[in-house]
Amino acid sequence: MPSAEGDAAAVEGDAAAAEVPAGPVFSGYGIASAVLAAISVAAIVLAALIWSGHHRDVQERSYQSRVLQTAVEWTGVLINMNKDTVDAGLIKLRDGTVGELNADFESVVKPYREVVRTLQSRTTGQIESVAIESVHHDLDTEPGSPPPSTPPPLPPSIVARTDTVLVVATSVSENVGNKPQTVRWNLRLAVADVDGKLLISRLESMR
């Protein structure tokens, strides 16, 4: 039968064991794992941001390429019209316009149409350069011409976005009985996004 002294020693041993301090709540391995997890999350977030920014840049470059191509194609029709193609060319040009330029199209192109028909010219044009206007600013209109009136912006419900494009081109007109005449074209075109279709909303001749 256990003695009272033995029971007391056992109790004291249990009390001493209870007083032993516990180990650290987080081990070195656990802390390292938490740090690596945080770094991994940060890396994933950073990669997502980089990809998102790259994706937007790619989309923007693709859109601007479409804008430039639209301006080139529209200008190409304008500078290559001759006595045989002027009527079909004007129809194609008007179909590619929107806003006030479309509404006033006849008056805008009437002088050019009459010159082509009167001179019976055969014209060959070539685009020399094209650029988004954000790279170039403060260009003047042709000498002696009044400042161009800026048409009111098309409502956002119709146009999602408008970019301004500068086009430099040259055309050579061969008139009956006369020497070929070279014409320089310096144009500013506004290209509007109308329900995903790119149309010309403004046309200006620059110096």
pLDDT in tens, 62-89: 999 999 999 999 999 988 888 888 889 9
Mean pLDDT of the residues in the chain = 76
Residue recorded with tokens 């045989």: 84
Say if 165 falls within a structural domain.
Answer: yes
Which CATH number fits the domain that encloses residue 102? 3.10.450.230
Say if 11 falls within a structural domain.
Answer: no
CA gap 76, 125 in Å, rounded: 7
Say if 38 falls within a structural domain.
Answer: no
Residues paired with 199 in a beta bridge: 192
Q: Is residue 94 predicted with pLDDT exceeding 80?
A: yes
Per-residue pLDDT, averaged over 101-109, amounts to 87
Say if 6 falls within a structural domain.
Answer: no
Say if 163 falls within a structural domain.
Answer: yes
Kindly write down the DSSP assignment for every residue of 141-195, as one continuous string: B-TTSPPPPPPPPPPTTTEEEEEEEEEEEEEEEE-TTS--EEEEEEEEEEEEEET
Say if 15 falls within a structural domain.
Answer: no
Q: Tokens representing 84?
A: 């045989």
User: Within a 10 A sphere around the Cβ of 54, how many other Cβ atoms?
Assistant: 10
* Domain total in the chain: 1
CA gap 48, 144 in Å, rounded: 54
pLDDT in tens, 13-68: 554 444 545 555 556 677 777 777 788 788 788 887 887 776 677 888 999 999 99
Tell me the residue range of the domain where 58 lies: 44-205
